[in-house]
Structure formats: C-alpha cells, structure tokens
Structure 1
Amino acid sequence: MTVRLDIRQQPHCCEFRLTWGEGQQLPPIPLPLPTLVLGAYEQWQRAYLNFYRTFRGRVVGVGSLSEVDDRRAQLVKAEADLLSEFHQWLRSPKLSDLRGQIAQLAKARSLQITPEPASLTIFLTCHPIELERLPWEAWEIGQELGTVTAIRVARAPDQIRAQPVKAKRQGRNRVLVILGDDTGLDFKADREAVQGLGAIADIHFMGWQPGQDSAALLTQVTAAVTDPRGWDLLLFAGHSNEAMTSGGELAIAPNLALSVNELAPALAVAQQQGLQFALFNSCSGLDIAKSLIDFGFNQVAILREPIHNRVAQEFLVQFLRAMAQDKDVHEALIAASQALKLEKNLTFPSSALVPSLFCRPGQPLFRFRKFGWREWLRQLRPTRRQALALAGVVGLSLLLPVQSRLLEQRSWSQAIYRRLSSQVTGPVSPRPITLVQIDEASLVKAGISSPNPMDRAYLAALIDQINQRGARVVGVDYVLDRPAPDGSDDQAIAAALQRSVAQGTWFTLATIPTDYDAWSPILPDEKFPSPLPHWALPGDIRASEVYVSLVNPWADPAQTPLPFAYLLALAAKLEADPAAVAPRPSFENSSPLISQAVDYLEADGTSHTAWSSARSRYHPITLLGYWVKQYWLQPIVDFSMPPDQVYQTVPAWQLLEGAAAGNRSWQNHIVMLVPGGYGEAGVLPGQDNWPIPAAVRHWRFWQAPSAPAPSTITGGEIHAYTVHHLLTQHLVVPIPDLWAIGVAILVGQGAVLALQRRSLSRRQGYGLLVGATAAYGLLSLQLYISAAVLVPWLLPSATVWIYALPMVNRWKPNKPKSFAAPA
C-alpha cells in the first residue's frame, strides 16, 4: 500500500494532504506558515556553512556570520533550535486526524505477514523548494505515535512524467563510479569504500584525467553510462550544484559542468539496460534527484546541502557497508544517517540531517542481488527467442537421421584432420584382416549368372584355397541355411569345411533372426557328422553403417548368437591361446563350441566378455536410450581410419587363379569370405551394399585419385572395421548431442556472464566467438584421436552462439575507449 503526504504552501498557510491505498484520502488540512521554522533553518544553514569550510559544491554566499570562537557550539545550538521549531510546528493539534490515520495505517501494516520486519513508508512531496530543504527525515512521527511499526520518510517529486522501466539486469551486480572534478577533493576514501563491494559487484571507475580533452571526456562519460552490459548502481562523487532549469549540474572536470538534462538520453539507455538507482555523493542534490525520478529512475539518494569532503566520504562508507549487508537503499540511507548521528556527531555535527532518498512510489527498493548457485541457475533461463532456438537444436539432436548425418560428416572431418595433422596411422591390429571378395569380375570369370543364393561349390573352392594358405580364423558372410537346389553343392561345401576344421580352423558362419523369434541354421544339418554349433560359431551378420554391433553380457550366447565381427575377434584370441585346455573346433566336441569358449573364459570367475574392451558391451545408459529411440554411448565405426590400414582385399578370382599376392601364408590372418559389391549381394538383393561414408570416399579418392569413384561400401568391409576396433580396443564413443547441448547451455550462459564484465567491440565479440568455436573444434578433433571420444561440435557450438550472440550484437561496432580511472 502506498501512502503519500503532499505538503504545499498556499498564500496564507501550508496545506497537508494525505492519500493512501486505492484513492482513500483525508481532507486537506491547513497549517500556519512555518515562518519560525524557515527562520531557524536559515540560522542553522549559516552555522553549518560556517563550520564546514571545504565542500563538494560551488557555493555562493547565503548570508554572513561573525566569527566566533566555538563554531561547533553555534552549529549544535542552531540544529537544536531548528528541530525544536520543526517538531513543534508538526505537533499542531490541527494534524491530529492526520497523525491518527497514519497510526492506523501503521497498525494495519504490522498485521501483514511479510518476510522482513514491517515498516510504513510515507512518500513526501513538498512545494516550494524552501519546504523541501527542511529535514523531513528527522520527523520522528513513529515515536510520537508510539507505533510498533517503523515509520520512515521517503521523498517523491511533484512531477513524474516517465513510465516506470521494467528492465532488470541479470547476473553479477555492476557499479559505475564517475569521479568528477577533484579540485580540493581527495577521492582515495571514496575508491576504497566502493572497492569494498568487490565481493558482490564488478566495480568500474571513470573520470577526468589531467590533459584530457573536454569533448573526449563527454564522449567517454556517455559511452560508459550506455555500456550495453548495463549497470545496477550509478555513483557520482565530486562537485555538484542545484540548477532548476537544467535539472542540476555535475562538475566532471575543471571548468566543465554537465547538466542532468544533457545526460538524460544516455541515462534513458542505461535504464533500458537495468539501471534503477543512482547515488550522488556530492553537494546540493535536490534538483538532480527530482530530475532523475522524473526521467524514470526508481530511487535516487542525494545530499541536500553543501557537504564537507570528509563527511561525504564517511556517509559513503556507511551507506555502502549497509548495502553490502543486503539492505535496500532506504535501509542503507537510514543506517548511514544513524551512524553519522550516533557515532560521528562530535566529529561531523548536523551531518545526519543532510542525506535524503527520492523514490518513485510503488516501485521496489533497490538492493544488490545475491549471487549464489540459485541465482546462477536462474541466469540459465533463456529468453523466448533463445528458448525457441534451443528447442529447435534439441529437436534436431534427437532425430536419428540427423544424428547419422552429423556422425558421417564428423568422420569425414576427422579423416581430413588425420591427414592434415599427419596422424593417419591409427592402432595396428595384431592380426591382419583379409577380405576375400566375390566381386563382379569373379562372378563373370566363374560364369555365375545368378549369385543369390551364391553357388556353394564356388564357395567350397574358395574355402579350400583359404585353407591351403594356412588361415585358421575364417568368417563366411553368406547365409547358408537352406539346402542348395543341387545336393552336390552342399556336399562340396560340407567337405571343404570338414577339411578346414580338421586343420584346426575356427569358422564363424552367418546367421540371421527369423520371423518366428528364432535364428536361422548356419548350414543344413544333415550334411555333417556332428551338430553344426559344436565345431563352428554362429554369428549374427546384421550390421550398421554407423554403430558397432554390441555384445549383450546378460544373454546366453548359446541361445542368442553374438555379433559376427565379435566372434571373429574372439576366435582369433582363442586360436592363439596355447593352453591345452583351451577350446578347439572339432567334430568330436560334445557341446556347442561357443559354450565351451564361454566356460573357458569364465573359469577364473570373470565374465566371458571381460577379454574385450568394456565399450564393446551394452552400457546401461545405452539400453535406456533404446527405450527413447536413441543410441547413447554406443561406439561408432571409425571410418576416419584409411581402409588400407584396417584390412586388405583379395578378389575371389585372383585367389582361385593363384594371383593373390603370390603364395604368401595367411596363417596369422583373420580371413572373411564376403560379397564384393555386386548388385544382388545380401539376404535381399542389394542389401549388403551400403552408401559409401564420406570419410571412406575421401580416403579412396586421396589414395587413388585416378580410380573410379566408388559409391558403396560392403557389409564385409564394415565387419572388417569392427573386427579391427575389437582387436585394438579402438572403440570411439560418441557423447550424445543432447548431453553436449546441456553442457553448452551452462557454458554459453557462463560465457555471457563472463563477457558482461568486459568492454569489447562487436567485431571483437564476433572474433572471440569464432576463435573459441574453432578452438573447441580442434580440441574435439584431437580428443577423437587421443581418447577415442567423439565430442559433438556443431549443435553445442550453435547452442553457445544462441546464448552469446544477442549480447555481442548489443555491443557497439567499435570498441569504446577505456573508461577505468587509475586505481
């Protein structure tokens, strides 16, 4: 509830008008003119000016007083006389209804539940200025009425034209200190007092420097006040004076005064950026305060009379100390006045009568914001435009096609970075990986016109050739679950497999899920003397061109086949194990080979998947992501590595004709018999041919620029990459874009809070953003290689820009000159 007391001098009386609430008011109350009070004020002012010789103002003569030996005693007596006459005038019986109504309002206020001690503020407006000069803050109306609720007086000008400004700053408090003309003054104590706020606010000093051009100083003042980062408190220290027509004058340099009206446009900008309170620690500030409230300020603290330099410094120390203790500006002004009255009255008599607070009624009182973790989190709240942009970025991050596209482009960028940074060589597989590819040329030379299903006699011949070269770990990437039309073809491949198994060859044969929640057999059972799983490993050949197929550590491998590439890597490990009890492929086995492998690996109490990198197994977060159609933390196939560092290819026709690298042994190789890119390859025609990743296209072009540009990559090549990654434990884990965006929100808002403390031009801001984005990109590229972690770049960078760009756009095109005065 707003309580206003308007006091106006009429021709023969002073009229008191009390209003409150929603239009409630008392009839105007006439009171005799305060002739004695004004006379006592003039006597007090003469004594005051005579006692304090050095002022923060240009004071003209206001009378004369003969020199006396004890100027202090004269001032103390003048103050007592002034307050006596003033209180006697206000205790007039004619004001009994007014005092009674104020008492009722105070009582009603005391019954309200508030988080802080209740107080009643009376907004006082006086006219003419002679009444304004009186020390209304010394009216002890609360003590007179005996109310529990504190009653305090704030001043309000009789003219307020500007609309209240709703803009509020966020982030750390910022204080602009303008140090004016220091002729006869010492600002050292002022600086120290303001610097005491350093724990809760950023302090920026500016002021005139010897030899500085006046025009440059005015420009500097305007640039400082309109700083786009905004201010919470504007403090002026120096000489000032009343000037009704210009709103008051501020001496900002010797022989250079700046009127408040001249500064009004800059102050309007500052208000739009959050400035609501100003403190003028200078002389004769009545016109300054009224002008600023009229311009739209919520509160202005001033000193009504000429003020001694030491008194101004003591007031500032006490005021800012109270502000630092989380008091609002009215509480701080009362605390400072009380300190001058009770603690410094002997040193600075009558100084407690000088401070005043002008307010715009109905507006919250300014106090410094606390800046703890709650406030910091509150800073993260985006604007409406930022929220819409963030929603778009988050939405993109959750779309699987977008994720796949971003990952492909990232692998391509990574390949370029590897080449340019001379980091092409990646982890080297302990066992070379060889792909025997049945390509179009092999089909033509073999006279195979219908390769789906593949001629099993042809596969048998290739298996025999692989066996002759000594390969002991072999994968066949062809589904052979159904009997061939010609029974002799099944007999041929069965014989070839038996000859290889007899030599100790580990076979991983292809299987796929069926429509009946089961798995296809790896070969027609009737062709073999032992159940198929007892001497070969059934591998799930399904693959992704983006993600590595993971192992489910909770599934029974005998019931749910493990990924094809994983089994090849496991077979390589077991084949090289010299232990006599290690499992071996044999037609004499009495249990499935995969069960024997699991039992052997778990003999020491560890999981059968512990031999490989933990990244090759399902992470609980990955499984959780599947519920929301996401692939969180699932490793990707690292196509940024050149294909020739991962595997070598041999056309099937060359192997059969003995032209494949001579007769070199493949004893230590992992060999896969795979389709080589012909159109019908796959369970469904063409299903085994994938669009070529941009990174692989880059390597193939760079290593063979004159060769025809390929358009596909085969499933066998993807399996080869996966086997390589498992053998070298090189599994690149992508950090989900959604997570990175969450971190980028914190980084973006943190960057905004940090940049708010700096004065940069718009060009510098753009340069800083571009440079930081590029540096983050380089760091991300290197982390991919060094730590096998893919940190997203595009969407997180866009998130940081969403937060930072609006602030940079508010900066001036050119960097303002520094406005920090030397400490």
Structure 2
Amino acid sequence: MKDLVEQIFQKSTAANYLVTLNFEGGNFATGFPVIRANFWLDGHPLPISLSGKLPANSEIPQLYQNWSKKYQQLRECYGSLGSLPRIKMKKEQTTNFSKKDIYQEIHEIISQIQELEKEWRLLLNEWLNTPSFNEIEKELRTKFYASDKVRLIIQSEDILMQRLPWHLWNFFSDYLFAETAIGLPEANRVEKLNIAREKIRILAIFGNDEGINVEADKQYLSSLSTKAEIFSLVKPSRQELDEKLWDEKGWDIICFSGHSQSKADGSTGCFYLGNETKMTVEELKNSLATTIRKGLQLAIFNSCDGLGLARQLAKLHIPAIIVMREEVPDVVAHKFLHHFLQSFTNGKSLYISVREAREKLQVMENKFPGASWLPVICQNSVEIPPTWQSLQIAHSNFEGSLTKLLSPIETKRFKLLTSK
C-alpha cells in the first residue's frame, strides 16, 4: 500500500519538475567534456536524457579570484568598524586608518564589486551559450512553461562550479519559479527508521557568537514554538551536541547559527561551538548518520563559508542542506533566516522559499554586494526535498493531512485503497 500512496502523492505534486546537470569530470582548465542532463517530466519515473559539453574557460576562475579578493577587502573594512561576518576573525587584524578613510574605501570597493558582478552575468551567459551546451537550455525552454516549478541541481566535484552564481544564468530570469541547487555527482538514499514524533522537531544550535549577534536567529526559531518542538543548545560542548544528535525521537531540522568556515578546496569545513570548540562533520559522523536514519530532512548552517560542511553532510546522504557559499555579514544572515522560515513554514516549497529569501536580500546590496548570491541548497537528487506540510504529515493524522493535498478523485481513490 505504501507504494500506491507514494504514487498518489507524486501525481498530486507533478507540477514540481526535477532537472539534474551532471558534470562528469573536467575542470575550467581543460573543459567539461561530458555534461549529462536528465529531465523528469509529468511524474514519469524515467527521465529524458541528453548530453552536452562546455569548453575550457580561464576567465571565470580569474574573475572569481578578482571578485573574492575585493569581497575579502570589504570584509576587512567592515571588520575594522566592528561589523563582523559569521567567520572566526584573526585577532591581529587591526587598522590605523580613520573611520572616514575606511568608509571611503568601503564605497570604492563596493563600486568595484558591482562592476565585477556585471562581468559575471555577461561572462557566465556567454560561456553557457556555447552551442554544445545551449542545446540543453533550448530543451529546458521547450519542455517547461515559465510558470513551472523547476528544481535544477548542478552535480559536480569541482568547487568553483559550486561557487558560481548560477542564478545569473538567463534561464532563471525567465523562469521565476525555478531555483538552482548543488549536489555531488553520486547520490544515495538512506533507509529510514519509523520513529513516531508528535510534532516537527527542530534542534537549534547556537555556537560561538564572538563579534556577532545570534539573538535574532533565536527569536525567529522560537516563534515557531506553536508549530514545532524547538530544542535549543547554546554554546554546547561537543559531548552535549553529540548526545542530542543521538536523541531517541530524532530531529526533522537542524539549524546552526554562529561561526563556520571551509577549506579553500571545499573538501571539508568546521563550525565553532562554545569555549573555542571547533567541530567537523567527520567528528559527528556516527550521530549524524543515525539522526538521518531517524528522519532528519534538512540541515541549515546560517554561518559563513559552508560549502565544505555541505560536502561532508552530503556524503551522509541527508536529503537537503542550506549553507552560505562565502562569508556572510551578520545582518544578512539574520534576514535570510527570517525570510526563509517565513516562506517555508507558510507552505512554500524549499526551493521557492530559498529563492524568495535570497531575492529579498538584494535591497541590502548597496552595503553588502552579493548578499543575494550567498545562500545555496545542497540537494540529494534521489530524495524529495522536504516541505513544512510533508513534515507535518509525518507527525500528525496521516490520512487527514494527506487528503488535504489531493484532488477529490485522488482522495476517493486513497480512501478505497486504505479501506482494503
């Protein structure tokens, strides 16, 4: 019966389409010789598949280096004024410049970054318009209406490919209900344990807050207390965190707020708890793998430079992760979490919620250029991304909740099935 229920559910949500672009090897120096595009249409279990390729491009890595250098300079200027991102700062970073000089330099750097962002849009679309890849975009535009909800997952081991501002691709300007995610080329699904929970359970972890303010994050999550069970850990020890991850009831969502960072190659990352305690995903592998089996659907790292963390979590086959691609200003992190939770808990899909939250950050780009570029989903392509409704279905009256999502005909069929 479970299979039949899943078929009904998939049919009722068939307007949500999935596209994966799997970059099978390659790099910017030599090009990407095999790009496998798969489109899942109209609830059909088998995808339409086609292939393309992209040539070598030395300008994109150079543009990223130029942009990253200016972004770092801007962070250092704001750090001199006491406005820090959610990354651990080196204590020796000081300045002898006056505030007037610093504000002048900030103004100049922001103008330079904005010019580089214009280059990003032109260069990225010029590269993606290469005939050997453009056939994939033409097929996308043929298969989907502008009103369709499209999840497009970029699967690549290349760290720069994961850092690219894919939302600048012209396709996303025309398809307002589409959003991009990143993922590893290989994906697997973990068999879940049947754990009974009365409500959605969220583990909120507030780590080292030196130089930043995580109180706003606490308030946003606490506001969900009528909809979900929220358990907060404030500057926990590694033992306290590990113990909570082993919780018998499990968790649906984990949200971390604080400082984090990743290695330059994106291979791994770390986040900071209390008392300068630095943690990696590898150190929590057993407890995290267990909570994933118990139904963990989403991990949010509302902290800096999280691609290394996302990569390590993805290897544990968690359904979905949200991280920041680069260092994130504290106030930007606040606004993103607020906007995302507002959309997500009001019934919008994970992808639409992230896109809307990202786009609402654009108003802050006069002070924090690239703010709307930072949040990114890391998606396990063989898992259905969670929604607030799907989490509620798992922890409430199953039949009553499911029938709310189905048409009258589908509801009648479901009741006939369940009465057998």
TM-score between the two structures when normalised by the length of structure 1: 0.40
Q: 1:238 aligns with which of 241, 255, 258?
A: 258
Query: Using the alignment, how far apart are the partners of 2:394 and 2:181 within structure 1?
Result: 32
1:201 aligned residue: 228
3-state DSSP of counterpart to 1:38: helix
Amino acid at match of 2:31: C
1:49 CA displacement: 2.1
1:34 aligned residue: 57
Q: 2:119 aligns with which of 65, 77, 81?
A: 81
1:51 aligned residue: 74
2:211 aligned residue: 184
Whether 2:384 is the aligned partner of 1:344: answer no
When residues 73 and 258 of structure 1 are mapped into structure 2, their CA distance, relative to the original with a 3 A threshold, is same
Alignment of 1:366-381 (within 5 A): 366-369=386-389, 376-378=396-398
1:353 CA displacement: 0.6
* Contact 1:169 1:273 survives alignment (8 Å): no
1:168 CA displacement: 6.5
Amino acid at match of 1:13: G
Amino acid at match of 1:70: E
* Contact 2:148 2:178 survives alignment (8 Å): no
1:361 CA displacement: 1.2
> Which sections of structure 1, spanning at least 5 residues, go unmatched?
61-65, 111-116, 210-216, 382-823
When residues 371 and 233 of structure 1 are mapped into structure 2, their CA distance, relative to the original with a 3 A threshold, is closer
Residue by residue over 1:456-504, the C-alpha shift from the partner in whole angstroms, topping out at 9 and shown as x without a partner, is xxxxxxxxxxxxxxxxxxxxxxxxxxxxxxxxxxxxxxxxxxxxxxxxx
Query: Using the alignment, how far apart are the partners of 1:59 and 1:357 within structure 2?
Result: 26
Query: Using the alignment, how far apart are the partners of 1:240 and 1:300 within structure 2?
Result: 15
Residue by residue over 1:189-243, the C-alpha shift from the partner in whole angstroms, topping out at 9 and shown as x without a partner, is 111121222231121110227xxxxxxx222111112211221110011111114
3-state DSSP of counterpart to 2:364: coil
3-state DSSP of counterpart to 2:308: helix
When residues 59 and 43 of structure 1 are mapped into structure 2, their CA distance, relative to the original with a 3 A threshold, is farther
3-state DSSP of counterpart to 1:86: helix
When residues 375 and 301 of structure 1 are mapped into structure 2, their CA distance, relative to the original with a 3 A threshold, is closer
Amino acid at match of 2:49: Q
> Which sections of structure 2, spanning at least 5 residues, go unmatched?
1-16, 41-45, 91-103, 402-420
* Contact 1:249 1:260 survives alignment (8 Å): yes
CA RMSD of aligned residues (A): 3.2
* Contact 1:200 1:370 survives alignment (8 Å): no
1:161 CA displacement: 5.0
* Contact 1:155 1:359 survives alignment (8 Å): yes
Query: Using the alignment, how far apart are the partners of 2:395 and 2:280 within structure 1?
Result: 37
* Contact 1:138 1:353 survives alignment (8 Å): no
When residues 68 and 275 of structure 1 are mapped into structure 2, their CA distance, relative to the original with a 3 A threshold, is closer
When residues 229 and 164 of structure 1 are mapped into structure 2, their CA distance, relative to the original with a 3 A threshold, is closer
3-state DSSP of counterpart to 2:73: helix
Greater Rg by CA: 1
3-state DSSP of counterpart to 1:9: coil
Query: Using the alignment, how far apart are the partners of 1:267 and 1:375 within structure 2?
Result: 21
2:36 aligned residue: 17
3-state DSSP of counterpart to 1:33: coil
* Contact 1:282 1:303 survives alignment (8 Å): yes
Query: Using the alignment, how far apart are the partners of 1:338 and 1:5 within structure 2?
Result: 23
* Contact 1:246 1:259 survives alignment (8 Å): no
Query: Using the alignment, how far apart are the partners of 2:110 and 2:328 within structure 1?
Result: 16
Query: Using the alignment, how far apart are the partners of 2:266 and 2:125 within structure 1?
Result: 32
When residues 201 and 41 of structure 1 are mapped into structure 2, their CA distance, relative to the original with a 3 A threshold, is same
2:96 aligned residue: none
Count of residue correspondences: 358
When residues 167 and 247 of structure 1 are mapped into structure 2, their CA distance, relative to the original with a 3 A threshold, is farther
Query: Using the alignment, how far apart are the partners of 2:153 and 2:211 within structure 1?
Result: 36
Q: 2:134 aligns with which of 60, 79, 96?
A: 96
Whether 2:170 is the aligned partner of 1:140: answer yes
Residue by residue over 1:730-782, the C-alpha shift from the partner in whole angstroms, topping out at 9 and shown as x without a partner, is xxxxxxxxxxxxxxxxxxxxxxxxxxxxxxxxxxxxxxxxxxxxxxxxxxxxx
1:364 CA displacement: 1.9
2:9 aligned residue: none
Q: 2:240 aligns with which of 202, 205, 220?
A: 220
Whether 2:358 is the aligned partner of 1:334: answer no
Query: Using the alignment, how far apart are the partners of 2:333 and 2:247 within structure 1?
Result: 27
When residues 230 and 36 of structure 1 are mapped into structure 2, their CA distance, relative to the original with a 3 A threshold, is same
When residues 172 and 375 of structure 1 are mapped into structure 2, their CA distance, relative to the original with a 3 A threshold, is closer
Alignment of 1:504-523 (within 5 A): none
Q: 2:290 aligns with which of 238, 256, 269?
A: 269
* Contact 2:199 2:392 survives alignment (8 Å): no
Amino acid at match of 1:248: G
When residues 206 and 375 of structure 1 are mapped into structure 2, their CA distance, relative to the original with a 3 A threshold, is closer
Amino acid at match of 2:30: H
Amino acid at match of 1:241: Q
Query: Using the alignment, how far apart are the partners of 1:133 and 1:182 within structure 2?
Result: 26
Q: 2:185 aligns with which of 145, 158, 166?
A: 158
When residues 36 and 376 of structure 1 are mapped into structure 2, their CA distance, relative to the original with a 3 A threshold, is closer
Q: 2:160 aligns with which of 130, 134, 141?
A: 130
2:148 aligned residue: 118
Residue by residue over 1:553-573, the C-alpha shift from the partner in whole angstroms, topping out at 9 and shown as x without a partner, is xxxxxxxxxxxxxxxxxxxxx
* Contact 1:208 1:252 survives alignment (8 Å): yes
Identity %: 21
Amino acid at match of 1:319: F
1:170 CA displacement: 4.0
2:22 aligned residue: 6
* Contact 1:167 1:271 survives alignment (8 Å): no
Query: Using the alignment, how far apart are the partners of 2:306 and 2:245 within structure 1?
Result: 19
Amino acid at match of 2:32: C
1:378 CA displacement: 3.8
1:298 CA displacement: 0.3
1:150 CA displacement: 3.7
* Contact 1:171 1:371 survives alignment (8 Å): no
Query: Using the alignment, how far apart are the partners of 1:172 and 1:346 within structure 2?
Result: 41
1:88 CA displacement: 2.0
Query: Using the alignment, how far apart are the partners of 1:195 and 1:152 within structure 2?
Result: 28
3-state DSSP of counterpart to 2:360: helix
Amino acid at match of 1:42: Q
Query: Using the alignment, how far apart are the partners of 2:121 and 2:48 within structure 1?
Result: 31
Amino acid at match of 2:180: V
Alignment of 1:558-577 (within 5 A): none
Name the structure where strand makes up a greater proportion of residues: 2
When residues 136 and 168 of structure 1 are mapped into structure 2, their CA distance, relative to the original with a 3 A threshold, is farther
